[in-house]
């Protein structure tokens, strides 16, 4: 029963192999993932051609269509026109205290 929990690494040679594999295997996996990600389809072009291709690729995702809302004419005129009843305070002027 005491042998059931023994070490898997018995010699220094096995220790060196395990340590080196634990370093190089993750590096190899990362390298292979980088090659896989970068091997996608690419269009070669310059300037305007590349911009057109990019625009065509993202058009289904990034297209936004805005339409004008039907608002009554009088409410639209009041919300769009600037208010002339109160002038904005100047930057250097301090508010005055009310007279007592």
Q: What is the pLDDT of residues 23-61, one digit of tens each?
A: 999 999 999 999 998 887 665 656 678 788 877 877 777
CA pair distance 39, 32, nearest whole angstrom: 11
Distance CA 21, CA 27 (A): 10
Whether the predicted pLDDT of 66 surpasses 70: yes
Nearest 10 degrees: Cα torsion 30, 34, 35, 37: 130
Q: What is the pTM of this model?
A: 0.38
The percent of residues above 70 in pLDDT, for the chain, comes to 59
Tokens standing for 19? Answer: 């340590």
């Amino acid at each position: 029963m005491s042998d059931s929990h023994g070490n898997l690494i018995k010699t220094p040679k096995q220790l060196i192999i395990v340590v080196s594999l634990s370093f190089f295997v993750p590096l190899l996996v990362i390298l292979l993932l980088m090659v896989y990600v970068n091997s996608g389809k690419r269009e070669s072009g310059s300037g305007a051609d590349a911009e057109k291709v990019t625009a065509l690729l993202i058009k289904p995702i990034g297209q936004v269509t805005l339409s004008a809302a039907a608002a009554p004419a009088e409410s639209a005129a009041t919300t769009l026109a600037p208010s002339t009843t109160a002038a904005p305070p100047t930057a250097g002027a301090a508010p005055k205290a009310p007279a007592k």
